[in-house]
Structure 1
Amino acid sequence: APDVTVENITYSQTQSPRQIQSTLDSNPLVNKCKWHHQSKYGEHIREFNANNQILTLPTIPTDQRYQDTGEYICTAENGIIGINRQLQQTGSGYVISNAPPVITADNNSTQYGKFSRSTELKVNVYSIPKYSRINWYIGNTQLVSNKYAIKEEPAMVKDLFHGVKVQLDGYRVTLIISDLQEADFTNYTLRLLYSDNQYVHHEVTLESTSAPQTPSNFNITSSSETSITVQWIPGYNGGQKQTFYVQYRTSGTNTWVLQEIIMINRLDKQNFYTLSGLQEKTTYELRMYAQNAFNQSKKTDTATATTLQSVFTEAKTSSNAITGAVAGVVVVLMIVCAIIISILVFKKRKGKFVH
């Protein structure tokens, strides 16, 4: 049976053609070899039609040649069973294709954090040879303050090699951002420097998954017979569009009525809203909260206001009071008159009786 060996070889990114040599030591002689390509971790990538001892790799675009990295296995036979009791004998060699750093296919271009907390932007990289320097930017400004920290660690990453998803030995580059504020939810650029002062870059967008902040300065500004006007200042919207809601109820009851506020709200701008359709001369409790696509804010403290009594109702009440008073006087006078008449009638009848 043939003894099959395959050379290990390293290619530069631009080197072409790329050929892999096998040695077939056998009697009788054999010069045919069936080739296939697999990852370091045994994932099958591709097979080749050529059956020669020397495998010439297909020509592919320069920026994809790193995908030629992996184990190349030659399978040969000469009709004689080997000491391993197999007719087919194999040998393999490992090929490394050097290239600039690669941002692998398992990355997320949009990542998330929460307002006032720390977060980590993570980027997986495959790099042979390894990059020489890591820098992070917002626009053209390099991030160097104590607010930021950079971490790097070996990691198992995933990428597509000739259309097949494979596992690779790579690196995870992390930007740690502390105490997230509104301005921190933006685009970040990772730059990895490699030979000859060249670099590859990758952009990550940081979005918020925070609930809005609780509206501030919530208070009552005025009231009428059937309405109450409130004011407030919107807080940070959590990185998403926020909507404001007022809850109100009659004082002493348990059920809150919800009213959505339809208007444009901007941070640090005083806002006003008039809640209408209320009952006159009634005490109400009111509170507010904000909501976005992720969650809602805490509710504000409860404010209390009493609607006014209308002039018509007050006049009607006064008129009713006067009418009632007059009616009372008339009744009293009628009772007095009745008593007087009764006395006179009694006296008159008594006089007749005496005579």
Structure 2
Amino acid sequence: MNTQVAIIGAGPSGLLLGQLLHHQGIDNVIVERQSGEYVLSRIRAGVLEQGMVDLLHEAGVHQRMEKEGLPHDGFELAFDNRRVRVALDELTGGSRVMVYGQTEVTRDLMTAREAAGATTIYAAGNVQPHALESDRPYITFEKDGETVRLNCDYIAGCDGYHGVSRQSIPNDRIKEFEKVYPFGWLGVLSDTPPVSDELIYARHERGFSLCSMRSATRSRYYLQVALDEKVEDWSDERFWEELKRRLPEDVAHKLVTGPSIEKSIAPLRSFVAEPMQYGRLFLVGDAAHIVPPTGAKGLNLAASDVNTLYRLMVKVYQEGRTDLIERYSPTCLKRIWKAERFSWWMTSMLHTFSEQEDFNSRLQLAELDYVTSSKAGLATIAENYVGLPYEPLE
């Protein structure tokens, strides 16, 4: 098999990159180790930055999002039994976010790729990239009992934190930065109306909580829990009762509870690998970086990587600008570290830490009080939340 760009991973970043390249006439093949059904079963983020919304429009996969997605012009910070709204549109000159589940984004991209007749190979075993520092890299994988070789010009590693792409880079050619947080998020998905029209990020002495949604009838809630907690120890009744304790009284009073349809615990960490390129291999999204979900940046950072790599490939194939290849990693990392900082700051300000002293707790409240009573403070939160501008290649 031969193609121009081989993409490892059929999650939203790989599918989005493939769709954008296809529109520019750049041939690409996606190789995914899991089945399509498995990819769609993963419950992930649901808040899309303005930049990602624009990119989905450019890819031509925006129709259902515009019809079923929920545009949000703000969100709330709750602390000390009070609520403060961050008016995103007013503070950023009109920018907003879109609440639309990652599963739905993935489904839309899968449908569009199938309609375009582009090649996606699911359930591919033993995927391995080769000859990454040569001008003719290739991928091998196993399918239906046979070993297949896919020749290409470039490889996009969109296969996540545990994927083979980053692991294919020699240890002496990459450096990893990591911060592990001493807690996780217990998430519950339920077919209940959201308690609020906008997201609520709540700080409480018992721990952080988040009220989110996937639609007008489906809610997503989170609780900060210790790393040694187990999902099976959290009955629906226990979850709802604890959530009510952590929310402002007027919010807790309106909470509609019901059976959970999905429940899981995700640890929180910050992670960045540098550089994000090795020869003809480019790391994209979670393959190169992880952020705690507090700032809603994970999927959106992947989209900004896709934007950079997509525009780079267009320059390479349409203008012969191979000199820009070395700009991929520094261009992406400039925005990534700013998003890492915002996610770390939101996490540090809203969560309780087991070793936390009263002094630090008072500092958290003072910082929340300061940033929410200052227009400059609110603007800083808003412009980071809707997403900083994409970095230009040149």
**TM-score range, shorter-chain basis?**
under 0.3
The structure with the greater share of residues assigned to helix is 2
Q: TM-score, length-normalised on structure 1?
A: 0.20
Structure of larger gyration radius:
1
> Does 1 or 2 have the higher relative contact order (CA < 8 Å, sep 6+)?
2
